Structure 1
Amino acid sequence: MENYFEPHLAPDQLRAMSSIGLAHIGDAVFEILARTWLCAHGRATGRGLHQAAIRLVCAESQARRAERILPMLTEEEAAVFRRGRNAHVHTVPGHASRAQYGEATALEALLGWLYLSGQRERVNQLFCEMMEEDTPCR
């Protein structure tokens, strides 16, 4: 791969990647989308911007937002989501339940998988659906 800004990994490369690896990149994808969303909607400035981002990317928020998109997932996406939820994480933050953390990890794994497979439009579609109650992306 030569373009790390717009990756497109082959299916066999994605299958070989661990769920934690997918969640690792998916965490960054969700973070940049959330920060972009906050700036684009003028939701906060300065310290408030950082606090608003933290509230959006925390496990509880991600788990709640993941529930909104589950009915929209294809079979393949749902399989990646389940794979992420079943990842063996050893530490769970004190502010989230193990179930919430599992759902958040699953969401991140799905976003990482979609991003690395070059499906940025699908990432955006799912993100917009997750954010719909706050402000439509349309």
Structure 2
Amino acid sequence: MDYLHPKLDDAAIARMSSLALAHVGDAVYEVLVRSYLACGGTQTARNLHSHTIALVRAGAQAQAAQRILPLLTEAEREVYRHGRNAKPKTVPKSASVAEYAQATALEALFGWLYLKQQYDRINALFDVIAQAF
């Protein structure tokens, strides 16, 4: 199996829980942020790390979700809604329950798009998010 570009059919993706999609999407989103920052200029490793942490925390992801919500297709909205309604066991102290729910929803969406190999859509949505960085 190609773990970098997994090929799952729609039924296999549909069987995944929202938290499983968010687990994948968390990594996808962090790679996008890291790539954006690293390719953007002359930052030190320390600055790259601190900027990455600031942009991937739940509060920042909740704000990112609000930027792209109006642009989502009906199918994407459904994935987002299921992700938002997922019940994680813990919520970090640095985030409200609402922020964490929105962050989980954003991650589920990015995980779903990644597993569906919709890389152009991922880039288009992330571009909207990155305009606020």
TM category, shorter: over 0.9
Aligned residue in 1 for 2:97: 98
Aligned to 1:85: 84
SS in 1 for 2:78: helix
Question: Kindly tell me: are residues 43 and 27 of structure 1, through their superposed partners in 2, closer, same or farther at Cα, counting changes over 3 Å?
Answer: farther
Match of 2:58 in 1: 59
| Structure 2: runs of 5 or more not aligned | none
In 1, the alpha carbon distance for the partners of 2:132 and 2:30 equals 18
Gaps of 5+ in 1: none
Give me the CA root mean square deviation. 1.0
SS at match of 2:4: coil
Q: TM-score, normalised by structure 1?
A: 0.93
Asked whether the equivalents of residues 44 and 52 of structure 1 are also in contact (C-alpha less than 8 Å), the reply is no
**Deviant stretches of 4+, over 6 Å:** none
Q: Distance in 2 between matches of 1:7 and 1:114?
A: 12
Matches for 1:1-138 after TM superposition, within 5 Å: 2-42=1-41, 44-134=43-133
Paired residue secondary structure (2:129) = helix
d(CA) in 1 for partners of 2:11 and 2:70? 26
Secondary structure at the aligned position of 1:63 is classed as helix
User: In structure 2, what is the Cα distance between the partners aligned to 1:44 and 1:64?
Assistant: 24
Say which SS state the counterpart of residue 53 (structure 2) adopts: helix
Change (3 A) 1:7 1:45: same
- Secondary structure of the 2:62 match is helix
> Which residue type is aligned with residue 57 of structure 2?
C
Identical aligned pairs, as a percentage? 50
Q: CA deviation at 1:31?
A: 0.4
